[in-house]
Structure 1
């Protein structure tokens, strides 16, 4: 069996149609979109059309989108840009304990600069309580930043309810939708958020491009200076080809979303059924109703995640711990720690399988069987040692 890639939540292969859409902007339409000659005008037309396509599909105005280098920059622009611009209104920010590090580290940096940050907890499914957010709100709260769908366990947060909670408060709502976008429906004309971050490489687009949706009327302090691109909110020559590819990836993702959702839920069930059939000891992580369809996160008591990932890789299965790897060792997942506590065995044995373009039912069935064999062997070894 050929190697099977089940780590699409980390990054995804570029769709062939996306590559074809990008090629002319490397070969022929290579102009700088800020130039006034015909080469520049053609590039500008491509960027404007791509922005319009994304805006139409997300049901927002094109002027509300800022292209960035990816999800991390989009998150940083939203958090730092709003905090710096509106510090006169207050210096309190609310986030959660399970955010992506692009959000957590940004908030930690703001704390070093004198801002106060409340990190609301999550329950054992990884979900934030709306009531906890309500209780954390203060008169000087200026920003609430909560991810839409968790990148490690797939839990979907109650973003609409939290947005409704903030309707009569000065605080604005930013959501990191990098993992959720393309996996579930997001319509900005109905979603009560003020800012939303997205990245192309999670939806079979190119790396190095993302966007920040900024609702009309929201003012941010720019993070970059040196040009008037992106309506003076993000200086720097636009990554034209990547932006074209981004728009194409959005088109494809939205067009076949329901078909993919059904397939990915089926893949998750295949893993679940195989583990049960083989008598594997396992615990599923995340919410079983409010969850992204392409992420299956599971802990195997008695198995260390490093050993499991190495054995999976040797078998030709690419999966992930969903947590950071530093100096060759895997740090405990901050998401699983927030859900289960630092002393839980589930924290050190959690593995994320995530599905996407190129995966088939046959691939997943084989991968599930191989994973079950590997886990049983490792669990039996651990039991023998004990």
Structure 2
């Protein structure tokens, strides 16, 4: 018997999820491209919209607030780089920590090369950012605070409410 301890990176899907994905991708009526105008595309778009309805209801958000990406790293890159590039008037400073996911750190390095100011806060023994340093670091040029709520390597849980209160 083996023990798998890397669920924070990749978790085996539930059997019913794996079965549904297989049935969708291998079905005669369900494998179409939802962006296509032919019959299979229209059916795939219908399935996609039904899925978006369920997910948005579960997350209490609007369908147009949901984005699908190929992996977590693409999601992180899209979020950090996309926000900073699309909001140039928000400021040119990003505050984070060196304990963030590799994808976050790579996005921040890219921004630094583009001339953005990246401020890395010190962290305590549990990996939580120094909130006094956060308060001191925030200024009128701060556009983004980017932190991992639950660290995938240490399990450290950040005090989001306190961070939000400091930011506001």
Fold equivalence (TM over 0.5): yes
Tell me the residue number matched to 2:104. Answer: 103
Is the partner of 1:5 in helix, strand or coil?
Answer: coil
Higher radius of gyration, 1 or 2: 1
- CA-CA distance at 1:150 after TM superposition: 0.4
Tell me the residue number matched to 1:11. Answer: 10
- CA-CA distance at 1:56 after TM superposition: 1.5
Count of matched residue positions in the alignment of Structure 1 and Structure 2: 166
**Aligned ranges 1:1-386 → 2 under 5 Å:** 2-28=1-27, 29-167=30-168
Q: What is the root-mean-square deviation of aligned Cα atoms in Å?
A: 1.4
User: What are the superposed Cα offsets for residues 226-281 of structure 1, whole Å, 9 maximum, x if unpaired?
Assistant: xxxxxxxxxxxxxxxxxxxxxxxxxxxxxxxxxxxxxxxxxxxxxxxxxxxxxxxx
**What is the distance in 2 between the residues matched to 1:66 and 1:6?**
28
Q: Could you say if the C-alpha distance between residues 97 and 160 of structure 1 is closer, same or farther in structure 2, counting changes exceeding 3 Å?
A: same
Cα contact 2:138–2:167 (8 A) shared by 1: no
Q: Could you say if the C-alpha distance between residues 52 and 160 of structure 1 is closer, same or farther in structure 2, counting changes exceeding 3 Å?
A: farther
Cα contact 1:128–1:158 (8 A) shared by 2: no
Runs of 4+ in 1 over 4 A off after TM superposition: none
Cα contact 1:130–1:158 (8 A) shared by 2: no
Tell me the TM-score normalised to structure 1 length.
Answer: 0.41
- CA-CA distance at 1:131 after TM superposition: 2.6
**What is the distance in 2 between the residues matched to 1:12 and 1:155?**
19
**What is the distance in 2 between the residues matched to 1:13 and 1:66?**
22
- Structure with the higher fraction of residues in helix conformation: 2
5+ residue gaps, structure 2, are none
Tell me the TM-score normalised to structure 2 length.
Answer: 0.92
Is the partner of 1:4 in helix, strand or coil?
Answer: coil
Cα contact 1:32–1:40 (8 A) shared by 2: yes
